[in-house]
Chains A and B, each alone.
Chain A
Amino acid sequence: MSVLAAVDTSVRLGTGESVVLWVLGPIALAGALGMVFSRNAVHSALWLVNTMLAFGVFYVVQDAPFLGAVQIIVYTGAIMILFLFVLMLVGRDSSDSVVETLRGQRVAATVLGVGFAGLVGAGIARATQDLDLVGLDAAQGDQGNIPAIAESLFTDYLLAFEVTSALLITAAVGAMVLAHIEREAGSRRTQKELSRARFLTDRPQTLPGPGVFARANSVAAPALLPDGTLAESSFATGTEPQEVEEMARPTGREQLGSPDAALGTLDPAPLDGDGPR
């Protein structure tokens, strides 16, 4: 009985570590849940960064300072930034669809997840409740964590380490091949060729933007031709073109009078009211 009690006390973690676990465990959980449940993919990435930082602290607390540093540098520093880069390249709100393609899939996945967590968590908790806590002091001696890992890595695990280098090179080459756009030399059209091709069409000028000459800059306000009609080529797709309220403009010769009147008189100040409008 006393032996069991002694084992039980030796398994207990220290107070500081318990505090770390109680504080950072919920934070890691919240990060994971936030990653799954946030609609915006960028928010998901930031939640995951949160979880990974908590994991780095867990490693440091658990006598693995090297892994903790690697976790923070490689995971949160490199991998998550790579994720964010790709998110920005792909477009952060691209097709984050809410529709369920398989009916009842979410409910089934949630039930499955809760069941799995219950089974695995309870199983682990039961199987490891009297797990010994030997600690790494004997394994790494007085040389510390990093020299002990290096010694093991470059003796026992040397082959795996070398194979890792091949893996990394293959991954780098693969990423370059996959992300590369094949383009023959000289296949990109120059500005001169583009302009020449545009002048061969019946519309050499650029398309009018919406709202040109109109008194609103809404996309729904189409451009006006010089005679006041709507320019069909400027209709925005997806919206109903709306005629904006327009101040009556003199457009024809009869409204403007003679060209001289349209240009204004040469008199400095027309005293009577029959000057140009």
Chain B
Amino acid sequence: MTLTWYLVLAAILFTIGAVGVLVRRNAIVVFMCIELMLNSVNLTLVTFARATGTLDGQIMAFFVMVVAAAEVVVGLAIIMSIYRTRRSASIDDANLLKY
């Protein structure tokens, strides 16, 4: 077992999150997949911080968490306001910008 396993696990989880963003139709689930991608990048940052022996990676992961929290708050508010006007949380229904 080496540190590589953490990185490989993070890469696989990132991919699962990306596939989920592509496949799922519910906006909230798509959002959760984005959270999973952010989390796997955090795991990579923490692993590299340990590998290189500096704390900068951990601080960066901390900032990523703060930004993710802000992003979730605003994104969920947007989803809610879309749901209020369109009565749907499906990303296929939000297509007004298309035409």
Which A positions have Cβ atoms within 8 angstroms of B?
Answer: 11-13, 17-18, 21-22, 25, 28-29, 32-33, 35-36, 41, 44-45, 48, 51-52, 55, 58-59, 62-64, 66-67, 70-71, 74-75, 78-79, 82-83, 86-87, 89-91, 94-97, 101, 105-106, 109-110, 112-114, 116-117, 120-121, 124-125, 128-129, 131-136, 138-140, 148-149, 152-153, 157, 160, 164, 167-168, 170-172, 174-176, 178-179, 181
Task: Output the least CB separation between B87 and chain A (Å).
Answer: 8
Whether A178 contacts B3 in the complex (CB less than 8 A), given A64-B58, A152-B56, comes out as no
Task: Output the least CB separation between B10 and chain A (Å).
Answer: 8
Nearest residue (CB) in B for A153 is B59
Give the docked Cα–Cα distance between A13 and B63 (Å): 27
Which B positions have Cβ atoms within 8 angstroms of A?
Answer: 1-9, 11-20, 22-26, 28-29, 31-33, 35-36, 39, 42-43, 46-47, 49-56, 58-59, 61-63, 65-74, 76-81, 83-84, 88-90, 92-93
Q: Chain A residues near B63 (CB, 8 Å)?
A: 157, 160, 164
Whether A121 contacts B8 in the complex (CB less than 8 A), given A17-B1, A174-B74, comes out as yes
Q: Chain A residues near B62 (CB, 8 Å)?
A: 66-67, 70, 149, 153
Report whether B4 and A128 are in contact in the complex, using a CB–CB cutoff of 8 Å.
Answer: yes
Report whether B19 and A95 are in contact in the complex, using a CB–CB cutoff of 8 Å.
Answer: no
Report whether A157 and B50 are in contact in the complex, using a CB–CB cutoff of 8 Å.
Answer: no
Report whether B55 and A149 are in contact in the complex, using a CB–CB cutoff of 8 Å.
Answer: yes
Task: Output the least CB separation between A181 and chain B (Å).
Answer: 8
By DSSP majority rule, is chain B's interface helix, strand, loop, or mixed?
helix
Within the complex, which residue of A21, A44, A90 is in contact with B80, where a contact is CB–CB below 8 Å? A90
Within the complex, which residue of B13, B68, B79 is in contact with A51, where a contact is CB–CB below 8 Å? B13
Report whether A136 and B53 are in contact in the complex, using a CB–CB cutoff of 8 Å.
Answer: yes
- Chosen A-B contacts, 7 in total, with CB atoms closer than 8 Å, are A21-B6, A35-B29, A36-B33, A70-B65, A117-B11, A148-B55, A157-B59
Report whether A175 and B77 are in contact in the complex, using a CB–CB cutoff of 8 Å.
Answer: yes
Whether A132 contacts B25 in the complex (CB less than 8 A), given A67-B62, A121-B11, comes out as no
Within the complex, which residue of B46, B55, B72, B93 is in contact with A139, where a contact is CB–CB below 8 Å? B55
Q: Chain B residues near A55 (CB, 8 Å)?
A: 39, 42-43
Give the docked Cα–Cα distance between A29 and B32 (Å): 15
Q: Chain B residues near A75 (CB, 8 Å)?
A: 35, 39, 65, 68
Report whether B47 and A113 are in contact in the complex, using a CB–CB cutoff of 8 Å.
Answer: no
Within the complex, which residue of A96, A109, A179 is in contact with B25, where a contact is CB–CB below 8 Å? A96
Report whether B3 and A128 are in contact in the complex, using a CB–CB cutoff of 8 Å.
Answer: yes
Give the docked Cα–Cα distance between A44 and B20 (Å): 11
Within the complex, which residue of B8, B20, B78 is in contact with A125, where a contact is CB–CB below 8 Å? B8
Task: Output the least CB separation between A111 and chain B (Å).
Answer: 10
Which residue of B9, B68, B90 has the most chain A CB atoms within 10 A of its CB atom?
A: B9
Report whether B15 and A116 are in contact in the complex, using a CB–CB cutoff of 8 Å.
Answer: yes
Q: Chain B residues near A110 (CB, 8 Å)?
A: 19, 23
Within the complex, which residue of A22, A90, A132, A172 is in contact with B89, where a contact is CB–CB below 8 Å? A90
Report whether B74 and A36 are in contact in the complex, using a CB–CB cutoff of 8 Å.
Answer: no
